[in-house]
Structure 1
Amino acid sequence: MEWIKEHQAYLLEEQTQKIKKKFEKDNEKRVADGEKEMKVTELNERLEPVKEMEKKFNKENKTGKVEAEGKGPTVEKIEAAITKLEQRVETMSLQAQDKEDNKEVALGTSKINYIDPRLTVVFSKKFNVPIEKFFSKALREKFEWAIKSVEEDWEF
């Protein structure tokens, strides 16, 4: 606590010295330019921020709490950010679960190996669904015989 008070006193003294030197230089410049010197009241106005800082330091020392300067994020913004992050975590975990669940299932295998391609073609023609929705270009070339040989009323 002692060190903090010494440091605060040092900061206040340093600011005061800077302001006084600036005031003296400004006065010298005005005299060199042939203008009037500034009054002591101007110096007191310039020292006002130092007095405010001293009041702030005294208040902090009494309460033991340091007030943050400037604008920080509001509670609402932080809560909104947390909500967004929770939603992202939820969607990513669902995607990871889906990926894990589908690892062992080859979704196109039954379509190619176990279902007669003529059944898929009949369904496609009967319900006006483009065959491209069911078969890739390679499969359309492979099952071209089924596509050409089957009509809408074909039965297995």
Structure 2
Amino acid sequence: MGLDDDIAILAAAPVFERFGRDALRLLSFAGERRLLEDGEVLFTRGAPSDGGYVVMSGTIALAPARQDVPPVTVARSGVIGRNALFRTLPRPADARACEASEVMRVTPSLMSRVLREFPDAAAAIHDGMAEELLGLVRGLSGVRERLVGLAPRKR
């Protein structure tokens, strides 16, 4: 893959979609690549995170702790471990390649560097997180209204 391909994949990835070309170029050059064979483990549940991953090619399956919940698959431009882009925390699931795949690891130190060097990228992440939080609050308010509507009326 060439630089333009990498930048296009990163630009389509959640978290990075609002980044400018120069910030994406830095991620492309400084991100750590890893090739995975079909069935190879990327990480296991409970292991400390070492960054987040962008799927550059192939498909990765995330198997949650609960056996009754089916695995989630992440394909090209998908981000695995978004919170791990910013800090170390335990992995909540097992991650395994469903086919030959390539991922790019973005460590918290690399994210910090990008956000320092590109304040517009930091503002974009802030705005995106604020929008997500607002959506969550609106959704919870809607649930509350429905629950209040279901409550028996006092006489």
TM over 0.5: no
By percentage of residues, which structure has more strand? 2
TM-score (norm 2): 0.21
Q: Give the number of the structure with larger relative contact order, counting CA–CA contacts within 8 Å between residues 6 or more apart.
A: 2
TM-score (norm 1): 0.21
Q: Which has the larger radius of gyration?
A: 1
